[in-house]
Structure 1
Amino acid sequence: MQTEITSEHTIILAKIRHVEELERLVICTEFVESLGQMIHQIQAERGASCLYLASAGQRFAKERADLVAHNTSLDIQFKQALQKHLDANPLADARQLTLVSWVLLGFDQLTALRHQVTLQKISFIDCIQSFTRLIGSLVSLIFEITDNTVNSKISTSLLALYNLVQGKEFAGQERAVGAYMFGSASVQQPHQQKLLELIALQERHFESFCQFASPALREAWASAGVTENERKHQQYQAKLTGARPGQALQAKDADCWFELCSQRLTELWQIQCQLISDMHQTLQILVAEAQQDLANTRKHLQQLQDKASVSSRDSAFFNLSIPVENAYGFLTDTASQPYPIESVISLLQQQSQQIAEMESELSETKKALTERKQIERAKGLLMSTLGLSEVDAYKTMRSTAMEQKRKIIDVAENILLQHKQPQ
């Protein structure tokens, strides 16, 4: 015989759902960690592959072969983490699944790309762009997961992680472009312009990272910016960005540049690992708290059942002195007259307040994500309609915002609105 459903049952069910949601986030965070590891390793393979091609196969052959072997085994672990993530999140939306399909297609074709590099049948630039396309899809997947996360603390950490990883990716591209410039022994304006764009993009994403990162992570970031390695990196960076087009460069500086950039990427990777570790610790605490809350609620409801104290629940629903908008949130009409502690209503009130607090905390992160998507769409429109680079499109929106004394999101929304209007 089916048991009659009651408000007590649904209170417990809500608590169980919350625990399950956090446990799914644990698996999701493990997958994001795997994503970060894969991005880091493919960045390393991209660097070694580019230097292998630049030296006509005379250098970095063993280093590259070792990376390919390691990344091939990591590919299997990544797909296992992906499968676990999808199994735990059966309601992953179509956009995320489509992006996953694109990523898997890239991995399927990675063997052929590596074969082209080995045989030196691909150009230096095409090699960079091919690896960058795969890395870009992995970074985008982090953003999609962030956009679908409903816990405010984890969503904020993921947003910080996304910006850190994206900035790190532009730093990786900077390493490759700079190595090519030093290796070619002369400054070419298109490559110099690309380097300047990559530096600007890094600054933008690292600034966003600091906005959402914890104080400890911001401190780690600040410390990484004052090292001797960073000072030397900036010196070499100035050589490339400050040189005249056609000016000769020392090809021997390519090795030093590559090493400085690699050390910088390692420092960023260490911050990334710290961020992931913090997320794991946060989730452990959240899961433990949610499980304890569930246990306490079960105990409290059992005590109420033993006392058969249901009159307060029944009378509270039809208490017409409580405004409807308060009743939906299980709030009293005045702070001085709370619901009886020993009642189901008190539990519903507590639960409603917890949900309201979580939604309030989450709204700021979701707002940042929505604004980022709007700005990216507007930037893409300027790039396609005016033929601007990514950096110039963003600079155009930023300068317009400053001139008009408006927020950049307002400028972006205006661009999108004008595009929708019939000409």
Structure 2
Amino acid sequence: MTNTQPRPESMSASQLSSQDFLLAAKQAEIHSLKQLELSCGLVTHVTALIHELQRERGLSNIYLVSRGSRGGDTRAHQLGLSTFAVDAFREALGSLELNSMTSAATLLNRIAVVLHRLDSLDALRQQVNAREIAAANNTDEYNQLIADLLALIFEAADISGDPQITQALVAMFNFLQGKEYAGQERAWGVIGFSAGEFSKNIIDRLNGLQYAQQRCLDIFSDVASTDALHCWESQTNDSSYSELARMRQMIRRYEPGEQLPTTMAEIWYELTTHRIDAMQRCEQRLAQELLTLCEAKIDAAEMDLQQHHRQLATLSDTVPLSSLGDEDDNADTTLNIGPGVNVRVARSIFDLVQHQAERLRELNDALGQARQTLEERKLIDKAKGILIKSRNITEEQAYRQLREAAMSNNKRMVDVAANVISVAEMLDG
């Protein structure tokens, strides 16, 4: 005999039981995980698109600073790869069930912003083709687009209701953010070497970007899986890293007025690209790990649901819920069982409900820990916004001021950010 109880939505309020809500809770969990799986699938396309845009940004700068004499053919090939990645991203958006994403308003808004920027990408490329935009402005345009794409990953982590998936997304976000800072370092270094000289502003930018990279990789190391960490560590054992370190040192020691060979731009680009490509290999590992984790979570939840169905069906088949009398005169009265309900059945259902409640409590506790890094990021972003508005500075300058304040006072950036927010709120009050 199978369990033929009607679905909760077809029942009146008086007919609904604890079993109905227990099964509905598990079904809701599965639905949430499947939506999260779609979001994580989108994230993998976001990572691929970011990588192609990072390469396009660097090659566009070489083309601009050299006045079109270098990097033209390579850039033309890269434009094709970037366009393919854009099309794949747009196609992935079609798999999202927008009507079901009721708790993802911020994520959906971020997607709208990204699509708007992607619509303007062709115009930016035309400006580069005609050399009607400065390399610095070109870099800023690509930086903003990539920042908006990274924000999609951040929002996906923020709406995740599973601690392990949240932690995997946090690891991926910080790794990709570090990779983006590496890409910006490549872009600004190309500008300096292509021009044969470095301004103090560019040197300061490069130093700040190196610090920011390390900060992101430190956070990644704290939350990433063992396999992900091993992947990154295995990629860093390479002689090109020592060559890159030497070129970084050359930039730090640069004296105003000194002239550098412009051919070093290609060497810098190759070394930094080698590092970024190594990061992409780990990025692909992180993306696959994320999708595998989503699939495993859904499989486990569906198995739990089937087990609940079997247990409840067995109970209803062997002992009717409305059987008269109690089997155990010494039954646990804390169950608050009404007259005429079988004690063993009620206790079995009670145990299932308690087990589910305890599991959800543990998940919420773990989720809180996994989201701590996200909350710290929000504080830093809020503090940056305050500095940008109050001091009329750029986002990069605001970040640099927070970083320098943290370093000079031997504090964490999040603590400095919290102080900035506290002072601002006090002044507003």
The reply to whether TM is greater than 0.5 is yes
Residue matched to 1:59: 70
Residue matched to 1:356: 361
Q: Go from structure 1 to structure 2 and tell me whether the alpha carbon gap of 1:236 and 1:118 turns closer, same or farther (over 3 Å shift).
A: same
Give the C-alpha shift of residue 398 in structure 1.
Answer: 4.8
The Cα offsets for residues 54-110 of structure 1, whole Å up to 9 and x where unpaired, read as 222222222222222232232222112123235374214332222222111101111
Matched, 1:277 2:288: yes
Q: Go from structure 1 to structure 2 and tell me whether the alpha carbon gap of 1:175 and 1:86 turns closer, same or farther (over 3 Å shift).
A: farther
Give the C-alpha shift of residue 408 in structure 1.
Answer: 5.0
Aligned residues: 403
The Cα offsets for residues 296-339 of structure 1, whole Å up to 9 and x where unpaired, read as 11100000101236489x999x97758x9xxxxxxxxxxxxxx9
Matched, 1:391 2:400: yes
Q: Is the 8 A contact 1:309 1:342 kept in 2?
A: no
The Cα offsets for residues 180-228 of structure 1, whole Å up to 9 and x where unpaired, read as 1111112321111111111111111111111111122222222333311
Residue matched to 1:107: 118
Task: State how far apart, in whole Å, the 2-side matches of 1:369 and 1:67 are.
Answer: 33
Residue matched to 1:217: 228
For structure 1, the 5+ residue unaligned runs are 325-338
* Aligned ranges 1:163-182 → 2 under 5 Å: 163-182=174-193
* Aligned ranges 1:123-272 → 2 under 5 Å: 123-272=134-283
Query: Bigger CA drift: 58-67 or 173-182?
Result: 58-67
Identity %: 26
Task: State how far apart, in whole Å, the 1-side matches of 2:333 and 2:75 are.
Answer: 74
Counterpart amino acid of residue 241 in structure 1:
R
Q: Go from structure 1 to structure 2 and tell me whether the alpha carbon gap of 1:277 and 1:395 turns closer, same or farther (over 3 Å shift).
A: same
Task: State how far apart, in whole Å, the 1-side matches of 2:141 and 2:377 are.
Answer: 25
Residue matched to 1:335: none
Give the C-alpha shift of residue 19 in structure 1.
Answer: 1.5
Q: Go from structure 1 to structure 2 and tell me whether the alpha carbon gap of 1:133 and 1:409 turns closer, same or farther (over 3 Å shift).
A: closer
Residue matched to 1:368: 373
Residue matched to 1:44: 55
Counterpart amino acid of residue 304 in structure 1:
L
Q: Is the 8 A contact 1:224 1:230 kept in 2?
A: no
The Cα offsets for residues 201-260 of structure 1, whole Å up to 9 and x where unpaired, read as 111111111111112222222233331111111111111122122222121211111001
Q: Is the 8 A contact 1:164 1:206 kept in 2?
A: yes
Residue matched to 1:31: 42
The Cα offsets for residues 142-164 of structure 1, whole Å up to 9 and x where unpaired, read as 11111111111110010011111
Counterpart amino acid of residue 217 in structure 2:
F
Task: State how far apart, in whole Å, the 1-side matches of 2:420 and 2:377 are.
Answer: 14
Task: State how far apart, in whole Å, the 1-side matches of 2:416 and 2:64 are.
Answer: 43
Matched, 1:419 2:418: no
Task: State how far apart, in whole Å, the 1-side matches of 2:100 and 2:63 are.
Answer: 41
